[in-house]
Structure 1
Amino acid sequence: MSPQLALLVNPAARGGRTLRLLEPVVRRLRAGGAEVAVIVGRDAADALERACAVAAERPDALVAFGGDGLVHLAVQAVAGTGVPLGIIPMGTGNDLASAFGVPLKDPMAAARTVLRMRTRQVDAVRVRAGLADELFAGVLCCGFDSRVNERANRLTWPSGRARYLRAMVEELRAFRPIPFRVTLDGGEVIEQEAMLVAVGNTGSYGAGMRICPGARPDDGLLDVVMLRAVGKAEFLRVFPSVYRGTHVAHPAVSVRRARHVRLEAPEVVAYADGERVGPIPVTCEIQPGALRVLC
């Protein structure tokens, strides 16, 4: 029987340059025996509404053709439904695709992964911040990294990763350690000034920064990584090691595991899967096995 696939497309991924690859990918999926319906939203809200409506019709998979932001949106539609999530990574970072073993630089290879229809049960995370109540599959960040995101989103130049680098340099000049209060599983409370706190279901964010290198998306636990207050010179020395995941050996870094995490701090905004959640306080709660991913 031909698999029924709903292909959720972000036409703005990589500035719209990925649309030229949409037709070849659709042809490949159809040549592999799939029936493909393409879904394109006018904006994120419309795309989410359409994705939820399609998921309710129980296709054999909802496939996100885009980057981590689109995967994040698709997670909202399929979590808890049993509808598998496929990924054809077309974004800048593609950390979620990487976490689930999807080929990153070959859309046709990713399409073949979808056609195999092999699923893996993984966790999702419910996050609540103010009126926001949503899910994420990767990493939530608060502190220096989320403030860099906020600053980058306000910039109009340059584009791509260069904009993020500019925002990071500018934020570092103004940044001061943040007094955090972190509560784990309603019991252990950690109060300290920190540069950042990350809550990970998977290991990486920001195009390969392995902020939570020990996180596993199917262990029913969240990894909570804290970098305590350090001087800017030391921060600049430690931060690059996040790409290797070796920063966790630094004495200023601590790692905890929990099922429920509450973060409190003044004037900090949380980002999850690279998407803005909202100002904290924020709570994160693991949802074991809430997702089926094609991998």
Structure 2
Amino acid sequence: MDTTATQPGPAPAALSPSAAAYSGSPGARPTRALIVANPASGSHSETLLREVRDLCAARLDAVEVHLTTARRDATDAVGRALRRPYAPHAPEVVRSNGTAERSDGTAVPSTEVRPDLVVAVGGDGTVREVVQGMADAPAPAALALVPGGTGNSGYRMIWGDRPWADALTALLLHPGDRARLRRLDLALLRETAQLVFLGACSGVIAEALPIARTIPLHGRARYAEAFARAADAHRPYPGRVTVDGEVVHEGPTVLANVGGGRYRGGQYLVLPHSEPDDGLLDVCVIGGSVAASRVPELTRTAAHLELPDTVYARGRTIVVERLDGERLPLEHDGEYQDTLGDRATLEVRAGALWTWCPTS
């Protein structure tokens, strides 16, 4: 186990083989999509949603759009869709000119046929809600992401800086060539029983989120300004981080990031060695000897790993604690956790999520 970031991290490992080799695959080529969009996300627009819908409709048998209206709405909508009675390729469903029919010739309403592709249009919080609905459902479907939020770190984790239209076109037109299915890891936050897609972070990164809501900017610029303000005002908290039962850090803590995704806020490379499907959670802890005001600049290039008060480790269960009895400031997937106590326990759920990813 790595316990200090002063040593070079391992070279990125190859992702797991194509998910078509696994049982229970959603299918090698998507046929029916549920698009879930959050109108309240950081960079949502009707134009973006229309372009996503039109691109899917041109290549798929059926496309539905669900606009979220409240917290957990995305989770509930996805869960309902994936519990419908008919699978896209079920024996009792006959396809004729793109229309699903029962074997006796009567029509099967689209609302009775499950999607095999769920497209999340929104920020990291929207994606997390969609993922929760997918993971809770008994039927497999695959996730595709379209960035429409503030940081969009989840999208960057998978597709890098590729334009979203290129990514969506790759899986619709070139599955197996330019895009393939993979099984990505998730984490479970034991204290809330919520799944974590991108990652969770305590300290200064969490403190930036309430500030971001007050800043009249959009996209990554909004989070960059919020992060800078939070860093200037931050005071380290007394913390402890345990990885698979071993204490790797105890003392003043600026942040402890667990994941998941390499980037936070779409631009801060906090976990540069993290792989999305290696069956492990990465954790990076920045100790109190590092001025919080330097953290935004340091994490843009992963220069924080060169500091002696930075710890980098991996494991299956990671516990982040605050030791003075106060509430631990924590966010995950871009959502501040205001009901958490002084402890967060994150457990890996290896290979839990089918996701469309680039082949290279």
TM-score per shorter chain, which class? 0.7 to 0.9
Aligned to 2:156: 98
Aligned with 1:261 (options 298, 308, 318): 318
1:103 and 1:109 in contact (8 A); partners too = no
Aligned with 2:251 (options 192, 210, 223): 192
1:89 aligns with 2:147: yes
1:122 aligns with 2:149: no
More helix by share: 1
Aligned to 2:124: 68
Q: By how many angstroms is 1:188 displaced?
A: 3.4
Unaligned runs of 5+ in 1: none
Aligned with 1:250 (options 302, 307, 310): 307
Aligned to 1:43: 70
Classify 1:134/1:244 alpha carbon distance in 2 versus 1 (closer, same or farther; 3 Å): same
Report the secondary structure of 1:195's partner residue: strand
Q: By how many angstroms is 1:239 displaced?
A: 3.6
Aligned to 2:34: 6
Task: Say what the alpha-carbon RMSD is for the aligned residues.
Answer: 2.3
1:39 and 1:51 in contact (8 A); partners too = no
Report the secondary structure of 1:74's partner residue: helix
Q: By how many angstroms is 1:56 displaced?
A: 2.2
Q: Which whole-Å CA distance do the structure 2 matches of 1:103 and 1:170 have between them?
A: 26
CA displacement 1:178-214 (0-9 Å, x = unmatched): 1102222134363211111111212111122110111
1:97 and 1:104 in contact (8 A); partners too = no
2:156 and 2:266 in contact (8 A); partners too = no
Aligned with 2:205 (options 139, 142, 145): 145
Q: Which whole-Å CA distance do the structure 2 matches of 1:220 and 1:228 have between them?
A: 26
1:213 aligns with 2:269: no
Q: By how many angstroms is 1:288 displaced?
A: 0.3
Q: Which amino acid aligns with 1:4?
A: R
User: Could you say which structure has the larger radius of gyration?
Assistant: 2
Q: Which whole-Å CA distance do the structure 1 matches of 2:207 and 2:149 have between them?
A: 21
Q: Which whole-Å CA distance do the structure 1 matches of 2:48 and 2:290 have between them?
A: 46
Q: Which whole-Å CA distance do the structure 1 matches of 2:232 and 2:60 have between them?
A: 55
Q: Which whole-Å CA distance do the structure 1 matches of 2:230 and 2:152 have between them?
A: 24
Q: By how many angstroms is 1:231 displaced?
A: 5.3
Q: Which amino acid aligns with 1:241?
A: L
Aligned with 2:196 (options 136, 139, 148): 136
Classify 1:114/1:144 alpha carbon distance in 2 versus 1 (closer, same or farther; 3 Å): same
Q: Which whole-Å CA distance do the structure 2 matches of 1:70 and 1:180 have between them?
A: 29
Aligned to 2:56: 29
Classify 1:34/1:97 alpha carbon distance in 2 versus 1 (closer, same or farther; 3 Å): farther
Query: What is the total number of aligned residue pairs between the two structures?
Result: 287
Q: Which whole-Å CA distance do the structure 1 matches of 2:274 and 2:224 have between them?
A: 26
Report the secondary structure of 1:36's partner residue: strand
1:239 and 1:247 in contact (8 A); partners too = no
Q: Which whole-Å CA distance do the structure 2 matches of 1:227 and 1:102 have between them?
A: 25
Classify 1:124/1:4 alpha carbon distance in 2 versus 1 (closer, same or farther; 3 Å): same
Q: Which whole-Å CA distance do the structure 2 matches of 1:240 and 1:273 have between them?
A: 21
Report the secondary structure of 1:190's partner residue: strand
1:200 and 1:215 in contact (8 A); partners too = yes
Instruction: Detail structure 1 runs of 4+ shifted over 6 Å in the superposition.
Output: none
1:79 aligns with 2:135: yes
Q: Percent same amino acid among aligned pairs?
A: 30
Q: Which whole-Å CA distance do the structure 1 matches of 2:167 and 2:57 have between them?
A: 14
Classify 1:256/1:102 alpha carbon distance in 2 versus 1 (closer, same or farther; 3 Å): closer
Q: Which amino acid aligns with 1:276?
A: Y
CA displacement 1:87-127 (0-9 Å, x = unmatched): 1222232211111126643x432321341453111100001
Report the secondary structure of 1:285's partner residue: strand
Report the secondary structure of 1:24's partner residue: helix
1:229 aligns with 2:288: yes
Q: Which whole-Å CA distance do the structure 2 matches of 1:104 and 1:90 have between them?
A: 14
Q: Which amino acid aligns with 1:6?
A: L
1:139 and 1:204 in contact (8 A); partners too = no
Pick which of 279-288 and 76-85 moved more: 76-85
2:257 and 2:284 in contact (8 A); partners too = yes
Q: Which whole-Å CA distance do the structure 1 matches of 2:185 and 2:48 have between them?
A: 30
TM-score where L is the length of structure 1: 0.88
Q: Which amino acid aligns with 1:152?
A: A
Report the secondary structure of 1:13's partner residue: coil
Pick which of 163-172 and 219-228 moved more: 163-172
1:182 and 1:190 in contact (8 A); partners too = yes
Q: Which amino acid aligns with 2:146?
A: I
TM-score where L is the length of structure 2: 0.73
Q: Which amino acid aligns with 1:141?
A: C
Pick which of 210-219 and 174-183 moved more: 174-183
Report the secondary structure of 2:64's partner residue: strand
Q: By how many angstroms is 1:167 displaced?
A: 4.0
